Amino acid sequence: MAIYWIWSIKLRMQHKLNDFVSYGRQFIDDDDIEEVINVLKSDLLTCGPYVEKFEGRLCNVTGAKEAIACNNGTAALHLAMMALGVGEGDKIIVPTITFLASANAARYCGAEVVFADVDPHTGLLTLETLKEAYERAGGNVRAIVAVHLCGQLVDMKAVSEFCKPKDIKIVEDACHAIGGKGVGDCQYSDMATFSFHPVKTITMGEGGAITTNNPEMAETMRVVRNHGMVRGTHWHYSMDDLGYNYRACDIQCALGYSQLNKLDRFIERRLEIAKAYDEFFKEISWATPVVNISDDIGYHLYPILIDFEAIQMTREELMDDLKLKGIGTQVHYIPVHTQLYYGGNIDDFSGAKYYYERVMSLPIFYGLTDERLKEIMQVIRDY
């Protein structure tokens, strides 16, 4: 009897584990597997034809003239900073609600990060918060990083009109936004960077890329991603400047190429899920969706702003309770300026404080079924 009881508990625990819904995850099908197997059966696992094949497809998807694949989204941001010649004495404006890499990439080059506040309801950099950060910087602003958060798009035209007369370079951090209207075409920016981590809309396992319409910058990034090395004839090569090993291999690029071919389908499903959530939250008084519904964006995340006093729970308590019920959530993001390295305080920026203290991301990914989505909604309704 005791053995049966232990077996029954293990079975229930395994069932709960199998039913757990993370806030985001990859979708891999037979087409992806076949494309990767093609590489594994070939002679070249790296520095082969799939790198250019992926880059060409990314150009087709975004409308940019150049694409440079690399090994992750952080490397993409670092390559962008190096292509702009960012260095000591420069100042880079970065919104504080973002992932660490958006700011750290500037520090890799020795530049100073000037953090900008965000809209309290969207978490986005705005023209007003950009202007405030620029004034606080007091000059020497070399570039800004415009972060398209959760799939939402910064008003790039307004940002461009402010920055171009001042010769401030613009890097779009589009790691959350592939598939959105105009994302990556660089009409209003110098470059756009992407991440293809498994929780993103498409994945390369790990991987990243930069798009640009500037061929000189593209060539700089291609050289820097490969140790700064320029090959000559026979065994000869030269290294004129410091570079890094930021290459993406053909295995990654084969997966990325296959995933890009499904991008429209992935974006459509994420939009369906977002619309279902939006309709549901009309009934919920204690939570408000962050993103204004739009067919023009590619949803990476589905964040909500929560009145925790109304449900008499802290965010930690709510997340723990949801986890016990098989629902994974996350917070995007802790304001970067409050990290010990950057030495800031949560009260420094009122918009970021308001957003951060209320935000929580719910599950959204291509493989999330309507049945599981309804179960998530029912659990939330019970609070």
Q: Are residues 277 and 145 in the same domain?
A: no
- Do 237 and 340 share a structural domain? no
Asked whether residue 206 falls in the same domain as residue 103, the answer is yes
| pLDDT band at 19; cut points 50, 70, 90 | confident
254 and 269 both lie in a single domain = no
pLDDT tier at 11 (50, 70, 90 boundaries)?
Answer: very low
Question: 221 and 360: one domain?
Answer: no
Residue 106 lies in a domain: yes
pLDDT digits (tens, 9 = 90+) for 329-341: 999 999 999 999 9
Using pLDDT thresholds of 50, 70 and 90, give the confidence band for residue 18: low
State residue 2's pLDDT score: 43
Distance of CA 232 to the CA centre of its chain: 37
| Final residue belonging to a domain, choices 260, 295, 311 | 260
User: What's the burial of 43, exposed, middle or buried (CB within 10 Å: 0-12/13-18/19+)?
Assistant: exposed
- Same-domain check for residues 39 and 132: yes
Residues paired with 289 in a beta bridge = 304
User: Two tokens at 255?
Assistant: 């997966």
Task: Please count the other Cβ atoms lying within 10 Å of the Cβ belonging to residue 318.
Answer: 17
Confidence check: pLDDT of 16 > 90: no
Q: Verify that 215 and 321 share a domain, yes or no.
A: no
Q: Are 96 and 335 in contact (CB under 8 A)?
A: yes
Domain count, the chain: 2
DSSP state of 64: -
Query: Residue 163: inside a domain, yes or no?
Result: yes
Domain boundary among 232, 260, 288: 260
Q: Which amino acid type is present at position 125?
A: L
Q: What is the pLDDT of residues 308-326, one digit of tens each?
A: 999 999 999 999 999 999 9
**159 lies in a domain?**
yes
Cα 312 from chain centroid (whole Å): 32
pLDDT at 140: 84
- Express each pLDDT in 122-180 by its tens digit: 999 999 999 999 999 997 899 999 999 999 999 999 999 999 999 999 999 999 999 99
Q: Name the amino acid, one letter, at 240.
A: D
Q: Which domain holds residue 326?
A: 263-381
* Residue 4 resides in a domain: no
Give the C-alpha separation, 258 to 27, whole Å.
11
Instruction: Tell me which H or E stretch contains 31.
Output: helix 30-40
Please check whether residues 186 and 241 belong to one and the same domain.
yes
Assign residue 377 the CATH number of its domain.
Answer: 3.90.1150.10
In sequence order, the 6+-apart residues with CB closer than 8 A to the CB of 249 are 45, 46, 47, 51
Kindly report the CATH number assigned to the domain that includes residue 178.
3.40.640.10
**Domain stops at, among 260, 275, 304:** 260
Residue range 255-308, pLDDT digits in tens: 999 999 999 999 999 999 999 999 999 999 999 999 998 999 999 999 999 999
